[in-house]
Structure 1
Amino acid sequence: MEKVTGRLVVVGGGQAAFALVAKLRALKDTRPITVVAAEACLPYQRPPLSKKYLLREMALDRLLYRPEAWYPEHNIDIRLSTMVTRVNRAAKEVTLSDGSKLGYEALALATGATPRRLPAAIGGDLAGVFVVRDFTDADRLAAEMRPGRHVLVIGGGYIGLEAAAVARSCGLDVTVIEMADRILQRVASAATSAIVRDIHRSHGVDIREGMGLHRLIGDNGHVSAAELSDGSVIPVDIVIVGIGVTANDALAHDAGLETANGIVVDKFGRTSDPSIFAIGDCAVLPWQDMRIRLESVQNAVDQAEAIAAILAGGSDPYDPNPWFWSDQYDVKLQIAGFGLGHDETLVRPGQREGSVSVWYFRQGKLIAVDAINDAKAYVTGKKLLEAAITPDRAALADPQTDLKSLLA
């Protein structure tokens, strides 16, 4: 593809935005770059916010991808505490929150996603109710996390369960409610849900599935209790909301770009305007005859680096090999592939105590693997998926089979 050499404007200051500009400079691309970031902080890692940062085991300066001096040294103009309020596609310029305008030859939207919050009508505006999106959220939550207090986690997805694990590790009493029939229902098999449920219950977490929230009850403006959908009332001091995210696609929608709970892109990361790209959590991309949005650090980095190569004149499309991870207590869950639409699973015990893997199949084809404290199963599964190999089912089911032999 033709190399773009004029100014690149990047909207957003998260993982995808940083990975894009860092890769361009690694490719010796010298175009001028301006990054417009809403937060007051330089780009930083987000996964530790709900883990080591919340536990105060890691300071904010250790989360920074690069120190402040790195940006001018690499001819990157980064504007913090600034938002893009309008995209003028005809003039190829963006309007910033301070009223100034900035021209571009290429525009990359790395606007991310926003956690869903509880409505104020059911107590979502009470003090003590949290989402964790940035370091200020984590700071406020950390100040409340004191042993003996009771935290209610709303949502049994990975975000909610990771928060539950941290709270329990801090000595808090934890209740998790999940409206669906089981935790992780949207993202994992029933087998994986059962394994993770047992892990949390063994740590003393009260998990209530098929349970919704009716309302939160306040005392002098601070949450003090929760009325659940079965009519029961439980005392709570803290509420952590983990009910999913909404893609930040309003800027793209207002600019007339195609959106569908995210910004629709082609296999080269281009939106319906060929001068505008979208990357990371906000992007809806083609994958195996589907349109998906991958909310993961892995996708943010891999997609951003692929688009950087395209901007620099490359022609290889982005073809993701999804993988994810989740740390809960001393358990590492590693996921290779995407189990959407699976019709069969196989549970394989690992070689070490507490290790197990769940293998997903669709119409007889291997599509994903969940590895719980089983790095060997994860690595083998990832290689099998990348090579489009479906292993012999009997051999896979036999715990005596050397997983490496499945790659032959």
Structure 2
Amino acid sequence: MASGVTAGTRWASRAQFFASGFIFATWGVHVPTVKAHYAIDEAQLGLAMLAAGAGAMVGLTSAGRWIGRHGPRRMAALCGCIYALLIAGLIAMPGYAALLGLLAVFGLVTSVFDVAINTEAAQLELRGGQPLMSGMHGMFSLGGMVGAASGSAALAAGMAAQTHLWTVATVMIALVAIASTRMLPTPAAPADGAAASDRGFRLPRGVLAVLGVLAALGLIAEGAIYDWSVLYMQQELGSPQQQAALAYASFSAAMAAARFGGDAMRARFSPTALLRGSGVLAAVAMTLVLLTDLPWLALLGFAGVGVGFANVVPILFGASARVPGVAPANGIAAVSAIAYLGFMAGPAVIGLLARVSSLTAALYVVVAFAAALAASARFTGSGDSAAGKEE
């Protein structure tokens, strides 16, 4: 029964995912701004990013408990607004040490906000009886694309960096606050799950641990494309810079498009079948990229990889929210914690392998991890749909 689920609640959730992607992209746009403003080198910038990662891990250990106690609506409103506000402080800190503190809090509220809105999306699926998670993550991708494009355009037009940051913060605070008023009014966790949430974070075991590892594999592979595809086109295929940049664009655009079509796929196929097919497609497409000498064919392959990985995280997050005896917020937080470790470690893993061998050889990790996802798809369950029942 679609109790409490209306078009307004669904669009409110979509708006939250869009805001999350937009703010995240704004941080990405201003990484060079931060580096120049504080006159720091690459190592110090890496430490700043690590501070954000550490804050995110702290947030993930508490997210399930907080959301179980207060509900995703309140936590999304609070953390989403703080998340947006902190973006305005990126170049307003008195020094580098203060920046590290800001980014630690930034990472913390980001992770809790992400778990809250994913918990809301999972509950909308369960209550409404139809898959929605892929489309929600599509809105995150869309928000990222719009945020990056608008940020680049604003800076190219001569807008001061601080003005742009304050503009984004103001608009996103308004969007998050308004969207929060239309979210489900009751906590997403069931009555027995709410009590479980109060026990706090525990290292995931059993099915949750497997889902977390699979999510980590997916994010390592996905991050490898984001971080290394352009360099691969330039260095390995000899493509000019303007053509090489299309590798990132083709992957991102294909991923966003596939996520918007992903809910229809999740309604038609079981999570197990869809994850297996996604992994096979990503593995085959990446193999094509690494074997061809033709840049245009490599670009087509990168698009195929984007389609293959598009629904991996939505499938796994949906499965983690349906584990029997586990509150949705706790399941998502547990899987997110392991996945985030993979996301942080991925670029370094690929870089190390490329140093000891070659970038082409290192990127076969993507093929291997995609194949592992396909082989392990049975751990997602085999319900009739993403919104269906576990066996």
Q: Which has the higher strand share?
A: 1
Q: Which of these two proteins has the greater Rg computed from alpha carbons?
A: 1
Q: Which has the higher helix share?
A: 2
Q: Determine if the TM-score, normalized by the shorter chain, exceeds 0.5.
A: no
TM-score range, shorter chain: under 0.3
TM-score by length of 2: 0.24
